[in-house]
Amino acid sequence: MREFVVAVVGATGAVGRMMLQVLEERNFPIKDLRLFASPKSKGLKLPFKGEEIEVEVLEETQSFRGIDIALFSAGAARSLAYAPLFARDGAVVIDNSSAWRMDPEVPLVVPEVNPHAVAQHKNKGIIANPNCSTIQMVVALKPLHDVAKIKRIVVSTYQSVSGAGQKAIEELMNQVRAWCAGEILPPPKNLPQTIAFNCIPQIDVFLPNRYTKEEMKMIEETRKIMEEPELRVTATTVRVPVFYSHAEAVNIETEKKLTVEEAIEILNKAPGVIVLDDPENKIYPLQIEVAGRDEVFVGRIREDFSVECGLNMWIVADNLRKGAATNAVQIAEILIQKYL
Ligand code: NAP
Ligand code: 3JN
């Protein structure tokens, strides 16, 4: 089997470290692995398959020749600047940031939903990985859309701190420690407000339309991935004091009526979805239980009695795995199986 030269850009971050773990777990055929991060990480070594690999500092003057696939998670500014340089030197870039997601020439891919879009990597040498909250929602909703045609989506998210990076994980830990010790809480630095024992209805910055950027990402990305540019979607995104996994309360209105039983049957057959829905026995997806898993979990499926054809559900996935690293590596697997 052919093996590939793979680069991970942003390898020291929460997503980058998970990329290494997922590449190793899935035994991705790697000939050589190159790791890149900021000057802060110069000399740092990261473990991969029993070896220690030294992190390189990302510099614009470098040559990136010889790299087949580059997995980027070093923020949108680095993706804007460096993805074209890696692509120029022959790599296909799979980018986890928002930098390229809405570029009409760049495919935005969730393998369970629109794997065919990977073919468009030929345009710019770049494939975009959607936002974590979008990924888990479309994995669960696309199979329902295929049967009943979704007319409108209303989503509220309950997003873990790991979505905001390694420093936000430490921020929640430090605030909880201080609270338990009866100390004054350290002021928020990486999140907009205190996160310990609190929910923050702000993820990313506010836009002139009063939505946050995270909310608008969910709306626009969902339309692009589902290839439904007019789909009505609205979102409220909330940070909650949970370390790993994002949860979403989702309401859909469909053209054709779906009973709860029909929806469960469709989701039971859907790729990458696990239905956990036995409320009488207190069975529904929980963030702490879904952490570490690659599937999207759906539960609390029930009719929305306020409209003719509507359903409510609770969708949970590990944001660093299916929401980022696993989705990116699945895209890389399609690339090597079909295109490289
Ligand atoms: P993080 O834990 O803060 O890690 C940031 C990574 O970027 C680190 O490896 C950091 O290297 C690197 N970096 C920062 N500045 C750099 C520079 N000038 N040159 C090279 N590398 C640089 O953040 P994260 O949670 O892993 O997220 C990283 C990015 O992934 C986000 O900004 C976002 O674009 C994307 N992301 C996507 C999703 C998704 O929904 N698919 C979810 C989360 C994040 P050092 O350690 O050396 O500073
Ligand atoms: O906050 C979350 O739960 C997801 C965060 C994603 C994120 C964080 C910083 C920058 C992104 C993203 O993936 O959209 C970005 C970005 O690339 O703009």
Ligand nearest to the Cα of 214, by number: 2
76 lines ligand 2 (CB under 6 A): yes
H/E stretch holding 156: strand 150-158
Nearest CA owner, ligand 1 atom 9: 10
> What range does the domain containing 313 cover?
133-319
Nearest CA owner, ligand 2 atom 8: 164
- The rounded distance, in Å, linking the Cα atoms of 315 and 311 is 13
When divided into structural domains, the chain yields a total of: 2
pLDDT digits (tens, 9 = 90+) for 173-182: 999 999 999 9
pTM summary value: 0.98
Same domain, 56 and 113: yes
Supply the mean pLDDT for the chain.
98
73 lines ligand 1 (CB under 6 A): yes
Answer whether residue 255 shows pLDDT above 90: yes
Position 135 scores a pLDDT of 99
For residue 160, the 8-state DSSP code is: -
Same domain, 288 and 159: yes
Same domain, 149 and 268: yes
pLDDT digits (tens, 9 = 90+) for 90-148: 999 999 999 999 999 999 999 999 999 999 999 999 999 999 999 999 999 999 999 99
Average pLDDT over residues 151-170: 98
Nearest CA owner, ligand 2 atom 3: 163
| Catalytic residue, candidates 121, 145, 180, 246 | 246
Structure tokens belonging to residue 268: 């039971």
Average pLDDT over residues 231-255: 99
The CATH number covering residue 122 comes to 3.40.50.720
Answer whether residue 1 shows pLDDT above 90: no
DSSP 315-340: EEE-TTIIIIIHHHHHHHHHHHHHT-
pLDDT digits (tens, 9 = 90+) for 28-87: 999 999 999 999 999 999 999 999 999 999 998 899 999 999 999 999 999 999 999 999
Same domain, 201 and 334: no
129 lines ligand 2 (CB under 6 A): no
- The rounded distance, in Å, linking the Cα atoms of 220 and 146 is 19
Answer whether residue 2 shows pLDDT above 90: yes
Task: Judge whether 246 counts as a catalytic residue.
Answer: yes
Same domain, 308 and 333: no
Given ligand 1 and candidates 9, 12, 329, which is best to mutate, with the most ligand atoms within 8 Å of its CB?
12
Please tell me whether residue 57 adopts helix, strand or coil conformation.
Answer: strand
Position 145 scores a pLDDT of 98
Answer whether residue 88 shows pLDDT above 90: yes
Q: Do residues 208 and 248 lie in contact, with contact meaning Cβ atoms separated by under 8 Å?
A: no
Answer whether residue 3 shows pLDDT above 90: yes
Average pLDDT over residues 261-285: 98
User: How many angstroms is it from 123 CA to the middle of ligand 1?
Assistant: 25
User: How many angstroms is it from 326 CA to the middle of ligand 2?
Assistant: 16
- The rounded distance, in Å, linking the Cα atoms of 219 and 234 is 6
97 lines ligand 2 (CB under 6 A): yes
162 lines ligand 2 (CB under 6 A): no
Average pLDDT over residues 145-161: 98
Position 166 scores a pLDDT of 92
Same domain, 292 and 306: yes
Q: Amino acid letter at 278?
A: D
Answer whether residue 205 shows pLDDT above 90: yes
Nearest CA owner, ligand 1 atom 48: 38
Same domain, 112 and 256: no
Burial of residue 276, with CB atoms counted within 10 A of its CB: 0-12 exposed, 13-18 middle, 19 or more buried = middle
Position 20 scores a pLDDT of 98
62 lines ligand 1 (CB under 6 A): no
